[in-house]
């Protein structure tokens, strides 16, 4: 058994950095495309609604791990030379866009119809109606679910280890193999995930309670 010293800890922190970066990129990329998906999903055009429904269905109906594989090898198959980081970032962005798109579709539909009618009666066009009136309210409604998904996404980044991406969990595994102290190492790794995710979950459920009260 080896000691867990500065070097090992530094290695874990490197892994943590990639975990956080991957979650941020997935969340931001997924957020941008997710809004698009949500808007198409709630649009008047039937084709747009159908296509985005299919997109959401595919990503919600298959394991994230499989999505990672498909994107990772799929990108390689296209003959594009990309490193693991880009491939994984693309996979997480696609994954997050489908889930966030679905969450936000629900929130857009949860905004009372009277809001759209008032905006229409005032002559506001689609862009302003969405940007100024509907989306700010929908985003607020979606906050608990959005934060919940972010927590899932952070934990989900551990799956990126499978395609050789050294994030926090994979870093832990490597250290554990070197030091033969799996319990200690994964204890630390788990604690790190917890420190990040728990406050988020807590904030999310706090918001949920506050909003439930506001509705009453």
- The site for other proteins (CB under 8 A) is made up of 112, 114-115, 117-118, 120-125, 128, 132-133, 136-137, 140
Asked if residue 109 lies in contact with residue 135, where contact means CB atoms within 8 angstroms, the answer is: no
Residue 102 CB, shortest distance to other proteins, in Å, is: 23
Cβ proximity to other proteins, 66 vs 118, nearer residue: 118
Cβ proximity to other proteins, 35 vs 88, nearer residue: 35
Residue 82 CB, shortest distance to other proteins, in Å, is: 41
Cβ proximity to other proteins, 116 vs 152, nearer residue: 116
Residue 59 CB, shortest distance to other proteins, in Å, is: 30
The helix (run of H) or strand (run of E) holding residue 167 is none
Cβ proximity to other proteins, 132 vs 198, nearer residue: 132
Residue 107 CB, shortest distance to other proteins, in Å, is: 13
Cβ proximity to other proteins, 5 vs 44, nearer residue: 44
Residue 38 CB, shortest distance to other proteins, in Å, is: 18
94 φ, ψ (degrees, to nearest 5) = -65, -45
């Amino acid at each position: 058994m080896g000691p867990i010293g500065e070097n090992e800890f530094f290695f874990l922190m490197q892994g943590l950095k990639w975990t956080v970066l991957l979650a941020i990129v997935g969340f931001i990329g997924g957020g941008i495309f997710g809004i698009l998906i949500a808007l198409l999903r709630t649009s008047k055009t039937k084709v747009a609604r159908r296509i985005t429904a299919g997109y959401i269905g595919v990503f919600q109906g298959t394991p994230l791990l499989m999505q990672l594989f498909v994107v990772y090898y799929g990108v390689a198959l296209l003959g594009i030379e990309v490193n693991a980081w880009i491939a994984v970032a693309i996979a997480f962005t696609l994954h997050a866009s489908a889930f966030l798109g679905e969450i936000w579709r629900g929130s857009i539909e949860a905004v009372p119809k009277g809001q759209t009618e008032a905006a229409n009666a005032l002559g506001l066009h689609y862009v302003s109606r969405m940007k100024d009136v509907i989306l700010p309210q929908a985003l607020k409604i979606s906050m608990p679910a959005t934060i919940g998904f972010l927590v899932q996404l952070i934990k989900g980044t551990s799956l990126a280890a499978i395609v050789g991406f050294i994030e926090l969990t994979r870093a832990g595994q490597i250290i554990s193999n070197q030091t033969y102290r799996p319990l200690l190492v994964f204890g630390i790794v788990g604690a790190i995930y917890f420190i990040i995710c728990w406050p988020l979950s807590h904030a999310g459920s706090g918001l949920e309670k506050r909003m439930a009260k506001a509705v009453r």
